Amino acid sequence: MFKKSIILMGTMLLTVSMLSFTLPEKAEAIKLGGIAGKVVGAAQEQQEINKALDYYENDGRNELFAALKQEDGVNGDYNANAMLGRIMQRMTPAVAKSDPSINSKPYNYFVNNQEFFNAYCALGHNMSVNIGAFWFLDYNEDKLAAVIAHELVHGQKSHPIKGAKKKMSVDFVMKTVGSELGGVNGLAAEVVAVHAKNTGVTKPNEWEADNIAFTYMADAGYNVGAPAAVWQTVIESAGDSSKKDVLSDILNPSTHPKDTDRRNNYAKKLTEYSKGKVAVDANSGEVKVNGKTFMKPAAAGKMSGMQRAYFVAGNLAAIYNAGQNTPNAYVEGGTVKIAGKGIVTPAAGDTGAVELVTILNGIK
């Protein structure tokens, strides 16, 4: 169920909220020195702040996870939870191919109640996807997998903990929450919460997450055109005048690349993955093979023609990546296929399946 009327669009990776849980006994209260430096020097104060963050990154990660669920709410949507579970089951071994550490520190994850488009990876490999992301992406598993793959890179590269430590200077903490962290007032936990959802992640971090997420997608067997299609969806939504106000803050220009740049980067990686064989013309929406037009998908269902183009290109890219240099396309059940893999099922407004087979097989 796609509830456009109640989706408040936000940016992936940007939402920050304050939690009101307290530090456990192991993470003792930290008393920060005032102007006179009453307790300890700045270096020791910073060390204590980092110690608290390390606790939630490691031994206390399940406590942080419980607090995140309490703060954002756990959504019981069966389809969303089942989809998130499937994606994580496929992504975990895919990530392990290049980074087996995921097996020793598996992710905690849940679908939360927030109704805008967002997902986040917090300290301690704690990840959550807003129910609004499922609505916005029409429960398309490949698109959701692209969002989640991006978050997994943040976790694997320790971006949340590094960003928190970089931003949480003693001066910053004192100006934000006062002179004491921890104890019954929960100030330290609130500070951790502020930095638990990718706050402090940099633009280079974002590019790294995008680039490695593409590899995760390919290794997990998802459509490698889906990441570009996600950003195409964002671009198209940004052009909707009815959503202009809620989309005005969709990207933080200081930490996030432009949406068109992200789409184009993913499109470039798709072409590279196809060994230079497949591309999508970002202006015309045409899917090209060896520089020749294969088809220009029409809009169908809730996907624009351009979004469908990236999916078609992703299917073709998988064929060429596997070494199928000379396509031998055929029609089966109304779907254009190569070596048993579906390439495209023509919709109303598309070129027919038989003609598409002729075109594809004629491209040299």
DSSP-based three-state secondary structure for 111: strand
- Given this model, what pLDDT does residue 240 score? 59
- Given this model, what pLDDT does residue 26 score? 46
**Token pair for 363:** 């491209």
Name the DSSP class of 107: P
Instruction: Give the span between the Cα atoms of 100 and 255, in whole angstroms.
Output: 28
- Given this model, what pLDDT does residue 222 score? 98
Measured at the CA of 147, the angle between CA 145 and CA 153, to 5 degrees, comes to 95
- CA dist 278 → 271, 275, 318 (Å): 5, 8, 10
**Token pair for 163:** 């960003």
Instruction: Give the span between the Cα atoms of 207 and 196, in whole angstroms.
Output: 20
Residues paired with 336 in a beta bridge: 331, 344
Name the residue with tokens 């971090």. 205
Q: Quick check: 155 and 107 in contact, CB under 8 A?
A: yes
What backbone torsions phi and psi does residue 112 show, to the nearest 5 degrees? Answer: -105, 175
Residues paired with 279 in a beta bridge: 288
- Quick one: CA dihedral 37, 43, 45, 46, positive or negative? positive
Alpha helices in the chain (DSSP H): 42-57, 61-72, 78-96, 131-136, 141-156, 159-167, 170-177, 187-194, 203-220, 226-238, 259-273, 305-321, 353-362
- Given this model, what pLDDT does residue 330 score? 97
- Given this model, what pLDDT does residue 38 score? 44
- Given this model, what pLDDT does residue 90 score? 98
Instruction: Give the span between the Cα atoms of 185 and 182, in whole angstroms.
Output: 7
Instruction: Give the span between the Cα atoms of 57 and 59, in whole angstroms.
Output: 7
In the chain, the amino acid numbered 353 is A
- Quick one: CA dihedral 347, 351, 357, 362, positive or negative? negative
In the chain, the amino acid numbered 300 is A
What lies within 8 Å, CB to CB, of 355 at 6+ separation is none
pLDDT tens sequence for the chain (364 residues): 433 333 344 433 333 333 333 344 444 455 555 444 444 577 887 887 788 888 889 998 998 898 889 888 999 999 999 999 999 999 999 999 999 999 999 999 999 999 999 999 999 999 999 999 999 999 999 999 999 999 999 999 999 999 888 877 777 767 766 655 543 333 355 556 555 566 678 889 999 999 999 999 999 999 999 999 999 999 999 865 444 433 333 444 456 789 999 999 999 999 999 999 999 999 999 999 999 999 999 999 999 999 999 999 999 999 999 998 877 999 999 999 999 999 999 999 999 999 999 999 999 8
Q: How many other C-beta atoms can be found within 10 angstroms of the C-beta atom of residue 83? A: 20
- Given this model, what pLDDT does residue 256 score? 74
Name the residue with tokens 């962290």. 181
In tens, the pLDDT along 86-130 reads: 999 999 999 999 999 999 999 999 999 999 999 999 999 999 999
Smallest Cα–Cα separation from 319: which of 329, 306, 307, 334?
Answer: 329
Conformational region of residue 110, where left means phi above 0, alpha means psi within -120 to 50, and beta covers everything else: beta
Q: Quick check: 92 and 102 in contact, CB under 8 A?
A: yes
- Given this model, what pLDDT does residue 52 score? 83
- Given this model, what pLDDT does residue 336 score? 98
- Given this model, what pLDDT does residue 215 score? 98
> DSSP letters along 182-204, please?
SGGGTHHHHHHHHTSSSTT--HH
In tens, the pLDDT along 227-262 reads: 999 999 999 998 654 444 333 334 444 567 899 999
Instruction: Give the span between the Cα atoms of 226 and 273, in whole angstroms.
Output: 13
- Model's pTM, two decimal places? 0.86
Cα Rg of the chain (Å, integer): 23
DSSP-based three-state secondary structure for 331: strand
Residues paired with 280 in a beta bridge: 287
